[in-house]
């Protein structure tokens, strides 16, 4: 009887091992297939991205958002960032998904109130208006885009928030604020534009009040595996195409951000990867871009915005490859 049980267990072990090997093989095959598809798309897009003048980084970022923000607002509304689409969740509009992204981020970070926040990379002020209405707080927003700053102030005034919210053109790496001025430091999808991530985190920590909370929501590349010094050549090549279109400097990983937070002496640090929660976003943006309204808007917006639209499939492929990650990191400045 014992011998029969042992034999049965051995057979089961072999079957389980074969299943695991099959799953790994299938996963590797899927990764290769996605990488090949991304390579083909990149090859087609690369010559197009090289057309036209390439502006210096800060000037290019400002120009990109000066050109594209009006189209984005007309197609998607106030919030210029990913939406939150949890797996198995009820269907919802893309606009509601963007509001949910703000709400879920605040909940995840444990923020239940704020007195004064800074919105770093504020877009047209969507996060500031939402959080100000939620908590009754003041907000100061900064962006490199004169169009965005003007539009954010216009919308705040129109919605009765002009006395609480102010937006201006300023560099996130040299913020025009005093030390410890804000109890909530908020950066929703602006970190990817920062050429010096260390200085970026240093400035966020400087303007944060003792006991205040810092939240960064941003795109990153995957965390390097043990023994890896750099990304694979095909991964780096894909990111370079995305950088060309969106005026992005070198990427980093969430592990890099966590290290920078610790270097600044921040506490209560935690991170999250919400790549799956935002996975439907790029498909929705691509669909909207290639409607009659979207194509008309792209042609009016100009070449910089058109290049951004052409690169959207690469962003989607990057997510599918596991290369592009949508991540969150939060920390608190010690009292």
Structural element, H or E, at residue 201: helix 197-207
d(CA 216, CA 188): 6
**pLDDT tens string 103-116:** 999 999 999 999 99
Counting Cβ atoms within 10 Å, is residue 287 exposed (0-12), middle (13-18) or buried (19+)?
exposed
Q: Rounded to 5 degrees, what angle do the CA atoms 159, 165, 168 make?
A: 115
Query: Whole-model pTM?
Result: 0.84
Q: 119, 140 in Cβ contact below 8 A?
A: yes
Strand arrangement, sheet containing 182-188: 165-169, 138-143, 116-120, 182-188, 208-221, 324-332, 267-273
First vs last C-alpha separation in the chain: 67
pLDDT, residue 291, reads: 78
Report DSSP state, residue 299: H
pLDDT, residue 50, reads: 58
DSSP secondary structure of 51-105: SS----HHHHHHHHHHHHHHHHHHHH-S--S-----TTPPP--HHHHHHHHHHHH
Residue of 49, 96, 17 lying closest to 305 (CA atoms)? 49
pLDDT, residue 5, reads: 45
- pLDDT tens for the chain, 335 residues long, are 444 444 555 555 556 555 556 555 544 544 455 444 545 555 555 555 555 667 899 999 999 999 999 988 988 899 999 999 999 999 999 999 999 999 999 999 999 999 999 999 999 999 999 999 999 999 999 999 999 999 999 999 999 999 999 999 999 999 999 999 999 999 999 999 999 999 999 999 999 999 999 999 999 999 999 999 999 999 999 999 999 889 999 999 999 999 999 999 999 999 999 999 999 988 888 787 777 776 777 667 666 777 777 788 888 889 999 999 999 999 999 99
Q: 176, 149 in Cβ contact below 8 A?
A: no
State phi, psi for 267 to the nearest 5 degrees: -120, 175
pLDDT, residue 6, reads: 46
Residue of 260, 177, 247, 152 lying closest to 216 (CA atoms)? 260
DSSP secondary structure of 103-145: HHHHHHHT----SEEEEET-TTSHHHHHHHHHH--EEEEEES-
d(CA 70, CA 77): 9
d(CA 292, CA 277): 28
d(CA 208, CA 182): 5
Both structure tokens of 146: 């004169």
Residue of 243, 201, 289 lying closest to 46 (CA atoms)? 243
């Amino acid at each position: 009887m014992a011998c029969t049980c042992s034999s049965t267990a051995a057979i089961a072990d072999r079957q389980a091992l074969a299943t695991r090997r099959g799953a790994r093989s299938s996963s590797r095959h899927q990764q290769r297939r996605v990488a090949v598809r991304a390579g083909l798309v990149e090859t087609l897009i690369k010559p197009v991205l090289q057309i036209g003048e390439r502006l210096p980084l800060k000037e290019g970022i400002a120009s990109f958002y000066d050109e594209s923000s009006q189209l984005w607002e007309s197609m998607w509304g106030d919030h210029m960032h990913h939406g939150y689409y949890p797996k198995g969740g009820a269907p919802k509009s893309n606009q509601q998904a963007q509001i949910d992204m703000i709400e879920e981020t605040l909940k995840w970070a444990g923020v239940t109130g704020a007195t004064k926040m800074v919105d770093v990379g504020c877009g047209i002020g969507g996060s500031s208006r939402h959080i100000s209405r939620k908590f009754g707080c003041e907000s100061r927003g900064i962006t490199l885009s004169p169009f965005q700053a003007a539009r954010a102030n216009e919308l705040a005034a129109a919605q009765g928030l002009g006395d609480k919210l102010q937006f201006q053109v300023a560099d996130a790496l040299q913020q025009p604020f005093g030390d410890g001025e804000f109890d909530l430091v908020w950066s929703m999808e602006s970190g990817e534009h920062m050429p010096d991530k260390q200085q970026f985190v240093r400035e966020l920590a400087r303007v944060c009040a003792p006991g205040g909370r810092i939240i960064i929501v941003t795109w990153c590349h995957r965390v390097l595996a043990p023994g890896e010094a750099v990304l694979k050549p095909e991964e780096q090549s894909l990111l370079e195409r995305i950088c060309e279109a969106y005026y992005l400097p070198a990427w980093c990983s969430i592990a890099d951000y966590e290290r920078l937070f610790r270097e600044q002496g921040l506490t209560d640090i935690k991170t999250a990867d919400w790549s799956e929660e935002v996975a439907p976003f790029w498909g929705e943006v691509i669909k909207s871009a290639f409607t009659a309204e979207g194509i008309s808007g792209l042609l009016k917006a100009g070449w910089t915005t058109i290049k951004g639209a052409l690169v959207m499939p690469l962003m989607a492929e990057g997510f599918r490859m596991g290369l592009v990650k949508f991540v969150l990191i939060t920390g608190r400045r010690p009292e």
